[in-house]
A and B are shown apart, each in its own frame.
Chain A
Amino acid sequence: MNVLRSLGLILLCALLGLVLGVVGTRFMAKQYVSTADLAIDAEALASGGLARFDRVSIADSVEVPTLVQLLKSPRVSHAVATRLGLASPRVVEENLKIVNDAGSPVVKLKLAAEAAAQAQAIARGIVEEAVAIDAAKKQQRTTEAIAAVRAQLGETEKQLGALNRDIQKLNSDRGISLSSESERQQRAAMELAQLEQRLSGINVESAGLQDRMRRLQELIAALPAGRSLPAGFEIQEADKSPGLAEARTRLLEQESALASIRTRYGAQHPKVQAAEAEVAATRKALHALLLTQREIVKAQVADTDNARKIVEKKIAATEAQARQHDLSLDPAHANLLAQREAITTDYGLLTTRLSELRVFAAAHPATFYIFSPPTLPDRASLLRPAALVALATVCGALFGAGLCVRRWASAERAAGRAVHAAA
């Protein structure tokens, strides 16, 4: 019974609070809430790499807090209040609520006002002002970047012109026309190639002569010793003089005949001795012919050596002349050319960057954009009335609990007094 009584009192008070809360909502000014969504451009052009048009994800970077701060900033609220003729920027600041779920690139804006149209107008003013500030910031940065790149281009052009003038002066100082430089280099190269080819031929010829000389020396050494000629010995084509060939043939025939009759008659036979004398005479004649041939080959070797020396000298002279007229081997000229190449590369990059910056500026870059425009609320918000009713109900219940305790304490005191009085 006690439970029901106490619970009933608490519930009654809570109900009373609820009724009072509901009545209170009738006297509350209605609130309309306009909502809008702003989205961070999940991929934006990297500020540090405009030339390459790098795209980086900035959805979870500092851009979201920046946007939230921008929406709440006095700059925005003052601008909106001025534009809409509001009494104070606090009308904007106090009724603005920003919601952003962690990791989401969308920032939700809620703006409460006493009229639906006013809520929408203020919300629109806030988002447009924030987007305009961001766009202006980006546009200003792009304009400054274009001006800086232009200035850098002008500077590079000046450097390039100065370098070209230095190169021309260097050529003219040496009496070299820049246009005939390559032709001259080509001619020198061809001449050198011909000389190299000729030298190579001389070397081959010299090697052949040396070989012949070695073989002649061997033959000359073999003949006086009475030894037989090497088997298969052939006189080279170059040595086939009529006398030498004839003597060789004759010697071979005589030696063949000598061998035949020696077998038939023995070594002491007069015919054999006559044949041996013929062979010796032929050998002597052949020896004389070989000596003559050796002298001829020796003369040829000497001629070849002379020819090689001449060609080598000519090659050296041609190379020296080429070096004298080749600017690519000149350190000063090479340095100028390297500088010109580097500056030409820079110039190309700057030109590309300028073009891209112009495209970037024309694209009206922005960090965020209006994803959902501010809505026109079609009915008043129930949030605050619900909160008021809940608040009043809880307060009523707490008041009821307090009343209960007070009643219990009073009853306890009364019982104590009664017992005391009875005693």
Chain B
Amino acid sequence: MADTILHRGEPFGEARPTGLWPGGLTIPASPVEHAVFWGIAGQFVFYFAGLAPVAPLLATGPVMALATVRIMRERCVPHWLPALWFACTAGVLVQLLAVFFLKGVGGWYVPGWLLTFGPAAFLPVAGAFVRKSVVFSAVAVLGIQALLYSAVAGVAVAAGLDPAYPSPIPVTRMMDPAFHSVRLTQPPEIAGDERRLVAFTPYPTSAGAAACVFALLTLGHRRSWAQALALAGWLALLALTHVRTGLVCVTLGAAIYYALLLRRRHLLLGAGVALLLAAAFTGPLLRGAELANRTLRSQRPSSSQDRANLHALAWEGWLYGGDEVLGTGASVRGGPIVRDVGIGTHDWAGANLFIRGALGFGLTLLPVAVTLVFGFFAGLAPAERLVTAVAAVLLVYTYSQELQTLYIYIWPVFLLIGGIARRTLPPVLAAPLSTA
């Protein structure tokens, strides 16, 4: 257990190097790192074993439990950024309970909090105990699996094969029934003629978002064949899910990641402001933006129209529904205009305002926005730049997705947030502390 001995004066939680696997993959050292590594790398295994309904808990539960024990044992005072994440997401839980108490609705969201907001609450704190290279390595391993999956599933779907079988876990009201079906593509009754891979998620949109974020995280891995294969895997998966936002976001995220290599951040800010002003005061930029938006929407017009309708309904419902602060607490069944999709879903800003009100909206948005600013000024290391890029991507993803749904799959990002925001203890407290 020598690998888990911590030394005062070092950033706590940084285990000593333990060597590398082929492809520059970091070997996990501590129990928390093992939980992280296998939790990330085992996503496809969980899915095809039919454990999708409990996979988020199986993957993040041990990490959260081990990290909590370690925090208590070592009496670690967390950095203010993970503390903010914890406070905001715990605030969402309190709000859910308050709405349940006041209005008697939304009770089913309370257990769901552990799967969605739970990782966002605990994992940034747990990130202090996990080496960033372990996270990158695990994502790379998962990316190589994604490459194999994309090849096999792509060929199978092209050949007209789409095997499906139910999960052995019984369906409950707490979980979307889509989690209880194992398949390669979205069911035809939902997707129509389109064949979009779902990877280890129930929906292609979630798979695309995960592929986008994980492709960015793969950039943080050492330059090796493992990184190349993993990148190819994530990009192949992204292409086969046909997720438009994901394609835009992976480009944007990579651009931010490399742009942040510029040491003088005020120049970047200046360039951003200048671009905004140019867009506001000149025609070509605005027209270009509108053209890009129109092109993006025209790729799947019915989907864009449904999302626009859902957003409009949710937005109007929040504005005039009388639940501006706390929200309605639950989604409302949509009509034929949105193909019976619930109002307060498949959208972020409108949905959050409608269901959780201004308070829940603020509690969800605040940590993401603060992380973006923090990461921007944090440094030049890959992890810092990646956290900034992913925070920007999450803000863009608010265009079409509920963030808390994405949190189920992109939880390794929270470990990185904790990784870049950790306190360094004063050297005067340098006595070694054995955790064996």
Contacts and interface: CB of A to CB of B under 8 A. Distances in A.
Interface of A: 2-3, 5-7, 62, 65, 97, 100, 102, 112, 383-384, 387-388, 390-391, 394-395, 398, 404-405, 408-409, 411-412, 415-416, 419-420, 423
Contacts of A102: 333, 340
A65 B69 CA distance: 49
Interface string B35-78: 00000000000000000000000000000000001001111111
Nearest to B98: A391
Interface string B74-94: 111110000100000010011
B110 interface: yes
13 contacts: A3-B69, A6-B75, A97-B105, A383-B107, A384-B101, A387-B104, A390-B100, A394-B94, A394-B97, A398-B94, A405-B77, A412-B75, A416-B429
Nearest to A383: B104
A2 B77 CA distance: 13
Nearest to A413: B77
Contacts of B73: 2-3
Interface in B101-117: 101, 104-105, 107, 110
A146 to B, nearest CB: 32
Nearest to B173: A101
A293 B74 CA distance: 152
Contacts of B284: none
B429 A387 contact: no
A404 B428 contact: no
A3 B429 contact: no
B75 A2 contact: yes
A96 B283 CA distance: 52
B77 A416 contact: no
Nearest to B427: A419
B77 A412 contact: yes
A391 B94 contact: yes
Given A384-B101, A398-B90, A62 B77 contact: no
Interface in B385-436: 425-426, 428-429
Contacts of B110: 390
Instruction: Tell me which of B69, B93, B101 has the highest count of chain A C-beta atoms within 10 A of its own C-beta.
Output: B101
B75 A112 contact: no
A387 B101 contact: yes
Contacts of B83: 405
B322 to A, nearest CB: 9
B336 interface: yes
SS of A interface (majority): helix
A285 B90 CA distance: 146
B192 interface: no
A404 B71 CA distance: 10
B107 A415 contact: no
A405 B83 CA distance: 10
B335 interface: yes
A7 B72 contact: yes
SS of B interface (majority): helix
Given A384-B104, A419-B429, A395 B94 contact: yes
A112 B74 CA distance: 49
Contact of A65 (B72, B75, B335, B428): B335
A34 to B, nearest CB: 14
Given A2-B75, A411-B75, A62 B428 contact: no
A389 to B, nearest CB: 9
A6 B90 CA distance: 18
A2 B333 contact: no
A414 to B, nearest CB: 11
A101 B77 CA distance: 47
Contacts of B429: 412, 415-416, 419
B333 A65 contact: yes
A394 B93 contact: yes
B46 to A, nearest CB: 28
A408 B76 contact: yes
Contact of A390 (B90, B97, B336): B97
Contact of A6 (B72, B98, B104): B72
Which 9 A-B residue pairs are closest in the complex by CB-CB distance?
A387-B101, A6-B72, A391-B97, A408-B75, A3-B72, A387-B100, A419-B428, A409-B77, A3-B73
Given A2-B73, A3-B69, A419-B429, A405 B335 contact: no
Instruction: Tell me which of B72, B74, B83, B428 has the highest count of chain A C-beta atoms within 10 A of its own C-beta.
Output: B72
Contacts of B98: 391
A416 B97 contact: no
Contacts of A398: 90, 94
A388 B75 CA distance: 31
B353 to A, nearest CB: 20
Nearest to B86: A401
B101 A388 contact: yes
A5 B69 CA distance: 11
A404 B97 contact: no
Instruction: Tell me which of B74, B75, B76 has the highest count of chain A C-beta atoms within 10 A of its own C-beta.
Output: B75
Given A5-B72, A383-B107, A404-B72, 6 more contacts: A7-B72, A62-B335, A387-B101, A405-B83, A420-B428, A423-B428
Given A390-B110, A394-B97, A100 B333 contact: yes
Contact of B77 (A65, A112, A408): A408
Contacts of B335: 62, 65
A25 B73 CA distance: 36
A423 to B, nearest CB: 7
A387 B97 contact: yes
Contacts of A405: 77-78, 83
A411 B340 CA distance: 56
Contacts of A387: 97, 100-101, 104, 107
A390 B72 CA distance: 24
Contacts of A7: 72
Contacts of A415: 429
A228 to B, nearest CB: 96
B428 A416 contact: yes
A423 B75 CA distance: 24
A412 B333 CA distance: 52
A103 to B, nearest CB: 9
A97 B330 CA distance: 12
A7 B107 CA distance: 27
Interface in B181-225: none
Contacts of B426: 416
Contacts of B93: 394
Contact of A2 (B74, B97, B107): B74
Nearest to B106: A387
Contacts of A409: 77
Contacts of B428: 416, 419-420, 423
Nearest to B340: A102
Nearest to A94: B103
Contacts of A3: 69, 72-73
Contacts of A391: 94, 97-98, 100-101
Nearest to B342: A102
Nearest to B75: A408
Contacts of B104: 97, 112, 383-384, 387
B425 to A, nearest CB: 8
A2 B90 CA distance: 23
Contacts of B75: 2, 6, 408, 411-412
A5 B71 CA distance: 12
A411 B76 CA distance: 11
B306 to A, nearest CB: 16
B248 to A, nearest CB: 32
A416 B426 CA distance: 8
Instruction: Tell me which of B74, B94, B333 has the highest count of chain A C-beta atoms within 10 A of its own C-beta.
Output: B333
Contact of A62 (B69, B336, B425): B336
